[in-house]
Structure 1
C-alpha cells in the first residue's frame, strides 16, 4: 500500500473510508483510532486553522448534538468564553491526545465515549454521533486542507 504524495490529504481520505464503511465488532475502537488520526496526526495549527468558528448550535451540523456537551469548561486563563465549533474540536483534540476518554457501557456494549480536558470540558458522545462527526470532519479536512 502506498500513500499519495500529499500524505495529509490521502490520510484523511482513507480515514473517511474507514469511518463510513467499516461495520464490525470493533467499531467503537475504530472511531477512537479515527479521531486520534484526525485530531492529533495533523499539526494542531493546521487542524485548528481549518475549522470554522461557527456558533455552538452548529455542531449538530457536524454530527454532535449540543446536549452531548455537558460542560464546555473554561479557557486556560479561567475566563468564560463563547463555545463554538473550533473550540469543540480543540477540546476533543486535547481529550484524545491526552487519553482523557472513557467508554460508556449499556447492557454489555459500548454506546458512547466520555471526553474530558483539564479546563473542565466534559462531553458524553454516543457512537452514532461520533461516527457522523468523524465522517464529517475527515471529509471537511480532506476538502479544505
Structure 2
C-alpha cells in the first residue's frame, strides 16, 4: 500500500487506526511503538512550529507538575515532546506498576550525555496521561498539514 498524500499525515493517521484497532494484551508496548508515528515523526517534522505553551493536564494530559526534572525552565509542549522523543529513541522509557501487576505509569528520562550521567528531563507519568499527551500531540500535528514538507 502506498502513501497517496502527505507522508507524515498519512503515517500519523494509519498509526492511530492501528492503535484504535488493537484489542489484546500488550497494548502499552504497542503504544510506545506507535510513538514513532504519533510523536517522533511529528516532533521532528514540525519542530520549529510546535506549541510553546506550558503543558497542562486539561489540554495536553500532562501537567507541568508531572515533570520532576528539567534543565530548561521551559516546560513547553515543544520541549516536553523533544525530551520524550529523546527518551524513546535512547532507551529512557520504563514501565512501572503501583500494584505489582498492571502497568500504571511510565518513567521517562532524558540525558545530556551518552553515558547517562546528567539528567535533563525526568517524569513519572500515569499511562492514561501519557496516552492523552501523545494523542493530543498527534492531533495537533494533523491540524498543521500545510507545514509538512514532503508530498507524494
TM-score range, shorter chain: 0.7 to 0.9
TM norm structure 1: 0.80
TM norm structure 2: 0.77
Gaps of 5+ in 2: 113-118, 146-152
Correspondence for 1:67: 65
Shift of 1:18: 3.2
Structure 1 CA distance, aligned partners of 2:129 and 2:27? Answer: 13
Correspondence for 1:47: 46
Shift of 1:114: 0.7
Shift of 1:110: 1.4
Shift of 1:54: 0.6
Structure 2 CA distance, aligned partners of 1:124 and 1:19? Answer: 22
- Per the alignment, do residues 28 and 104 of structure 1 end up closer, same or farther by CA in structure 2, a change over 3 Å counting? same
Gaps of 5+ in 1: 75-79
2:105 corresponds to 1:107: no
Correspondence for 1:85: 77
Structure 2 CA distance, aligned partners of 1:65 and 1:20? Answer: 25
Shift of 1:118: 0.9
Spell out, residue by residue over 1:96-128, the C-alpha distance to the aligned partner (whole angstroms, 9 max, x if none): 111211111233221111111114210111111
2:127 corresponds to 1:134: no
Higher mean C-alpha displacement, 59-68 vs 80-89: 59-68
Report the aligned-residue RMSD: 2.2
Count of aligned pairs: 137
Correspondence for 1:117: 110
Correspondence for 1:94: 86
* 1:70–1:122 Cα contact (<8 Å) kept: yes
